[in-house]
Structure 1
Amino acid sequence: MSKNVKKVAIVWRGDRETRGAATKTNSRYHRIFEELEAAGFAPEPAVFDEAFAHEVFQQLLAVDAVLVWVNPLDDGKTRNVLDPLLRKVAEAGVFVSAHPDVILKMGVKEVLYETRHLGWGVDTLIYRSAEEFRDAFPARLATGGPRVLKRNRGNGGQGVWKVEIDDRQSDGTFVRVLEAKAWSIPETVELEAFLSRCEAYFEDGGSIVDQPFQERLPEGMIRCYMCGDKVVGYGHQLIKALVTPPPGYGPEALQPGPRIMHPASSAPFQPLRAKMENEWTPQMMSVLGIDRQSLPIIWDADFLFGPRDSFDGDTYVLCEINVSCVFAIPDDAPAGIAQELALRLRSCS
């Protein structure tokens, strides 16, 4: 292999057997491997687990760039071992994306609070302790409609709740709650019991973000995929998370619709593209102190439809930003990843 060929490790979670069997063609990342090779890189799989973290660490020190696809929560496992490992790799001069410090700025729910004043924001609060949550949330819930609570770090809808007062109770001591996790069903619980349930979200410096429920949620969610600061496609999905099922519902009422992918050029999404590329992403970078070189190679912003504007046009409300493990991705994204990585490494040299 030529000394000028840059080695790129693609990291995802798996066990020892998966690590031993992993190739460039037998994982869901095969298109990314293909595009990296086409761009002149030498990609290699780097399956990670805490049981062999040191082995992965040594592998990553021997490459030029590391691209990571590992969820913050996965079957009880976290990134508490992986993130310090990646920081050490980056300190050794290896390009890492997404860097754990960047994830902590934009890939957590707290970004919704920090950027609430941007065009994608809404009335957003944050609770940084269980005591603050207990003191403030019940009063907030009593002043308006349903609220959505989001634990700071999570994925797959874990720790995201729609909460509303049970109007069958006159004193407000019971609430109806629905978690965004797949196949969750509504519950009616005592408010005190729900507050206690959420206390675990404050462990290890955690927090909870509080936003109003968006009534147009049944119209779907738009996932805007980004390579750096450029849109590479969209996914529109009729989600069922936080949508209260109708009376007498069957299993199909909990099954989300397929995510329909669209290219960046798709006409219906051009207003959103203009906002993301020209306004919201630059503004977010300024607020969070992130330069272009540090933006994740691949990330996405999930939007819900907000209230229609005075011209009956759509507005968009940021639901969350995904950075740690963005997949599935649009058809154009693998090539975009390769192109963006080439640009970053040229900037580093």
Structure 2
Amino acid sequence: MKKHVVFFEVVGGTDKGPDGHRADTMPMVKSLEARGWTAEVIFYSDEKKDEIFEQVAKSADAYVSRINPGNLKSEAIYFQMLRDLCEHGVKGMPHPEAMIGYGAKDALVKLRETALVPEDTYAYYDIDSFKENFPKVLKNGERVLKQNRGSTGEGIWRVQLISEIGDASEVPLTATVRCTEAKDNHVEEHDLEAFMTFCEQYIVGENGMLVDMPFLPRIKEGEIRLLMLNKTPVNVVHKKPADSADAFSATLFSGAQYRYDEPEDWADLVHSFMSTLPMITERLGGYDLPLIWTADFILDTDENGNDTYILGEMNCSCVGFTSQLSLSENVADEIISILTQTETVEQ
């Protein structure tokens, strides 16, 4: 074992501090160094991918990706380099296929036949299927549309039907809908056809898709984010939307209030989620769990009136812990543990 880890970053982006790094990257580097390992940060670019591949393949036991794919010219080129590194024996944290599987919004559809996700959750990979299905499901109640790209609530819309449509089998394209974007809780009203035409931008292009799921009104009580370090729950962030009629966004930018709890404070949720991890891993491709990842839940009520937790999304491409930088110690321990176990298995 080389006892060397590479952290990938990219130049620029709103997630960088004055030193050009994400705030949580250098603490992880220093925590590894304190344990007798070496670590370095490499700024990825497509132009230098071959040079970077040669350097990392030769020197590192593992890479840790700290790049938001939205900050790349083409995430496909970056992911291919990561695949090549994994095939060369460098441990991916995470493997690019896990990054895609857990990070893409259609992970919800792959988990639809479980208690984690409502049955009437859909993914639209083409405009025709969106046009055909969305007016039908909107008739049954409020919906949430989520683009696959973006972050901080951009392109996530709560859609409410305003017009009376009687007993029509689907919402007519001329009906008026009230649309609230999670980015900042701003509200727009459109006829359905115009809004759906606007949403076509989310479907076209590389990795374009829209996920369509029912709106869960108990989001007003707060979104519950479970922060995971590989297979270990680290903490729970309770994110309560701003106290206004239309607000449903749980982002800080939109005015949501955050509270940090211990996993023990949410024992039912944690126990339920942990029991489903083997099934989640299998349905999302069978790859090792990401190093640092999150699962976001919304409270709902089952047919017996009991609380239940619905999975809203998962993230693993560059989950930050800037408000708790001391977690870098736990991350360093986990990296070393994973690599030590991997070496033992391979011997």
| TM-score, L = length of structure 1 | 0.83
Cα distance in structure 1, aligned partners of 2:221 and 2:137? 26
Aligned CA distance change for structure 1 residues 96 and 179 (closer, same or farther; 3 Å): same
2:307 alignment counterpart = 314
RMSD after superposition = 3.1
Q: 1:151 is matched by which residue type in structure 2?
A: Q
1:249 alignment counterpart = none
Match of 1:43 among 13, 23, 39: 39
Aligned CA distance change for structure 1 residues 20 and 238 (closer, same or farther; 3 Å): closer
1:92-103 matches, cutoff 5 A: 92-103=88-99
Cα distance in structure 1, aligned partners of 2:18 and 2:220? 43
How far does the alpha carbon of each residue in 1:134-183 deviate from its partner, in whole angstroms, 9 at most, with x for none? 011111111x22100112343222221111212378865221112222x2
| TM-score, L = length of structure 2 | 0.83
Structure 2 alignment gaps of length 5 or more: 167-171
Q: Is the 8 A contact 1:134 1:195 kept in 2?
A: yes
Q: Is the 8 A contact 2:297 2:310 kept in 1?
A: yes
Q: Is the 8 A contact 1:161 1:242 kept in 2?
A: no
1:304 alignment counterpart = 298
Aligned CA distance change for structure 1 residues 341 and 282 (closer, same or farther; 3 Å): same
1:62-211 matches, cutoff 5 A: 62-74=59-71, 77-123=73-119, 124-142=121-139, 144-167=140-163, 173-181=175-183, 183-202=184-203, 203-204=205-206, 206-211=208-213
Structure 1 alignment gaps of length 5 or more: 247-252
| Displacement after TM superposition at 1:245 (Å) | 4.5
Cα distance in structure 2, aligned partners of 1:241 and 1:81? 42
Q: 1:263 is matched by which residue type in structure 2?
A: E
1:316-335 matches, cutoff 5 A: 316-328=309-321, 330=324, 333-335=327-329
Aligned CA distance change for structure 1 residues 37 and 254 (closer, same or farther; 3 Å): closer
Aligned CA distance change for structure 1 residues 245 and 102 (closer, same or farther; 3 Å): closer
Aligned CA distance change for structure 1 residues 93 and 121 (closer, same or farther; 3 Å): same
Cα distance in structure 2, aligned partners of 1:109 and 1:12? 23
Cα distance in structure 2, aligned partners of 1:178 and 1:190? 14
2:169 alignment counterpart = none
Cα distance in structure 1, aligned partners of 2:104 and 2:244? 19
| Displacement after TM superposition at 1:110 (Å) | 0.7
| Displacement after TM superposition at 1:52 (Å) | 4.3
More off after superposition, 32-41 vs 90-99? 32-41
Q: Is the 8 A contact 2:111 2:280 kept in 1?
A: yes
Q: Is the 8 A contact 1:71 1:155 kept in 2?
A: no
Match of 1:337 among 321, 331, 337: 331
Cα distance in structure 2, aligned partners of 1:332 and 1:232? 12
SS at match of 1:73: helix
More off after superposition, 31-40 vs 62-71? 31-40
1:227-246 matches, cutoff 5 A: 227-240=229-242, 244-245=246-247
1:222 alignment counterpart = 224
Cα distance in structure 2, aligned partners of 1:165 and 1:244? 14
